Structure 1
Amino acid sequence: MLTIKMNDGRTEYDVEDNYKWVCHLMQNGDKFIELKEHNYGQVLININNVLSVKESRDYEK
């Protein structure tokens, strides 16, 4: 599980996507990525608005 924080300082998403896959999309120059968010389903976010991507190791299914 990943935690993606947005640069507005308040919004963060707990997503079920692979860390390396998200980083790959960000480095490829893609403008938007579609994520599988835990509470809302599919979420489309703009790469320019991402502040940080952190892997959550303490997540239990």
Structure 2
Amino acid sequence: MKPEYRKKGLGKLFMGWIHRYCKEKGCNSVELNTYVENHPSHKFYYNEGFQILGYHFLKKL
């Protein structure tokens, strides 16, 4: 997200919409990936109730 859009509550609004949409569709979980270096996103997702359950691996060919 561009810096000028941070700290305006947009992420929280978007997450709320995602959670409501997923519940309406009968989903029982939400999953996401974030980069290891992106510490601000980790804090945000922790505050939204997400837990780290594993690692996502990638090998470029």
Instruction: Return the structure number with greater helix share.
Output: 2
Q: Would you say same fold, with TM above 0.5?
A: no
Higher-Rg structure is: 2
Relative contact order higher in (CA < 8 Å, ≥ 6 apart): 1
Provide TM-score, normalisation by structure 1. 0.30
Provide TM-score, normalisation by structure 2. 0.30
Instruction: Return the structure number with greater strand share.
Output: 1
